[in-house]
C-alpha cells in the first residue's frame, strides 16, 4: 500500500474545505468508527527477517473497557511451544498512562513492563510495547493537522499529522492516511525523534464482521532493519461476554479466572 498518487491540482482546489474540517473530529471518528463492548480474537503474528525467513506465532486476544472507559487487553500465546503460555496484560487510561505486565513461563512469574521499555520489541516482533496500544490512543493526547488530500490505492484520503503533546512518547509524530468516506485507516508513518520515518503500518483486508468494518491484516515494517511483522486476524468476535477476572495479573500468571 505504499503506492499512491498525489493530485496536486485537486488538492489545491479543495484546500479551503479540507483545512476547514474539524481535524480532531476526523481522528475521533477514526477511533469511534467501530464501537463495541468487547473483542475476542484468534490471530497469527508472522515476522519476516531481512533475508526473508519467517517465524509464526498464534495468539488469542481479549479486550474490554472498564466502567470508567479505561481500555484493557490481554494476549495469550498458543503456539509454538517456545512461547505457549506467555500472557500479556495492558491497561490504558484516558490520560495516556499505560500499565503493562507480561508472564513468561520460563520465568514462572509476572513482570511489570517499565516505562523505559515502552520502545522495546514486543515478543521479538517489529511492534514495540507502545505500538501495541497505539490504535486505541486517546485523540486528545495529540495535536492533529490535515496536511493534504491524497489518493492511496484508489481511495481518497485525508493525510493527517498527529504530534504527541507529551514529549516522552516514543515517536516525534505520526502521519496517517484516513479514508474520507468511511474513516478507515490504511497507512501510518511513525517518525523517530530525529525526524525520520522509522516504521510504517499498513492495514488491509477490511471486511464486515458482525456489522463492523474490520481490518484483518496489519503489517508493521521497520525500515532501517528491513524487517516486518504482519498480524492476520483469523477469528474476530464482538460483544461476547468476557469475565472481569481476565484483566488481572492473577489471570496472566495462572491462566485461570478467579
Tell me if residue 193 falls in helix, strand or coil: coil
C-alpha distances in angstroms, 208 versus 29, 39, 176, 200?
A: 18, 15, 22, 25
State the pLDDT at residue 14: 32
SS3 209: strand
Question: pTM of the prediction?
Answer: 0.85
Residue 1 has pLDDT above 80, yes or no: no
The C-alpha cell at 25 is: 473530529
Summarised one tens digit per residue, pLDDT across range 58-85 is 999 999 988 887 889 999 999 999 999 9
Has residue 16 got a pLDDT over 80? no
The burial class, CB within 10 Å (0-12 / 13-18 / 19+), for 206 is: middle
- Per the structure block, which three cell numbers stand in for 19? 483545512
- What does the pLDDT look like over 84-121, one tens digit per residue? 999 999 998 766 678 899 999 999 999 999 877 878 89
- Domains along the sequence of the chain with CATH: 4-254 (2.50.20.10)
Which residue is it, cell 513482570?
111
* Residue 92, C-alpha cell as written in the block: 490504558
Which triple of cell numbers denotes residue 1? Answer: 500500500
Q: Which long-range contacts (CB under 8 A, 24 or more apart) does 103-112 make?
A: 103/252, 103/253, 109/253, 110/249, 110/252, 110/253
Amino acid at each position: 500500500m505504499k503506492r499512491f498518487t498525489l493530485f496536486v491540482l485537486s488538492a489545491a482546489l479543495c484546500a479551503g474545505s479540507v483545512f476547514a474540517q474539524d481535524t480532531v473530529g476526523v481522528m475521533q471518528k477514526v477511533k469511534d468508527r467501530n464501537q463495541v463492548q468487547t473483542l475476542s480474537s484468534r490471530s497469527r503474528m508472522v515476522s519476516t527477517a531481512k533475508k526473508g525467513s519467517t517465524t509464526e506465532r498464534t495468539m488469542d486476544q481479549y479486550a474490554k473497557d472498564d466502567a470508567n472507559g479505561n481500555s484493557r487487553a490481554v494476549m495469550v500465546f498458543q503456539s509454538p511451544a517456545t512461547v505457549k503460555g506467555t500472557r500479556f496484560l495492558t491497561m490504558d487510561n484516558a490520560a495516556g498512562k499505560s500499565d503493562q505486565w507480561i508472564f513468561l513461563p520460563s520465568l514462572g512469574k509476572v513482570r511489570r513492563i517499565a516505562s523505559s521499555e515502552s520502545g522495546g520489541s514486543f515478543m521479538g516482533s517489529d511492534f514495540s510495547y507502545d505500538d501495541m496500544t497505539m490504535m486505541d490512543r486517546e485523540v486528545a493526547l495529540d495535536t492533529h493537522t490535515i496536511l493534504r488530500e491524497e489518493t492511496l490505492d484508489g481511495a481518497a484520503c485525508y493525510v493527517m499529522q498527529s504530534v504527541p503533546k507529551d514529549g516522552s512518547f516514543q515517536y516525534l509524530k505520526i502521519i496517517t492516511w484516513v479514508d474520507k468516506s468511511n474513516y478507515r485507516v490504511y497507512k501510518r508513518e511513525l517518525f523517530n525523534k530525529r525526524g525520520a520515518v522509522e516504521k510504517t503500518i499498513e492495514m488491509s483486508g477490511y471486511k464486515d464482521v458482525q456489522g463492523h468494518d474490520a481490518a484483518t491484516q496489519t503489517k508493521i515494517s521497520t525500515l532501517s532493519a528491513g524487517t516486518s511483522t504482519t498480524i492476520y486476524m483469523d477469528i474476530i468476535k464482538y460483544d461476547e461476554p468476557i469475565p472481569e477476572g481476565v484483566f488481572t495479573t492473577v489471570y496472566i500468571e495462572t491462566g485461570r479466572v478467579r
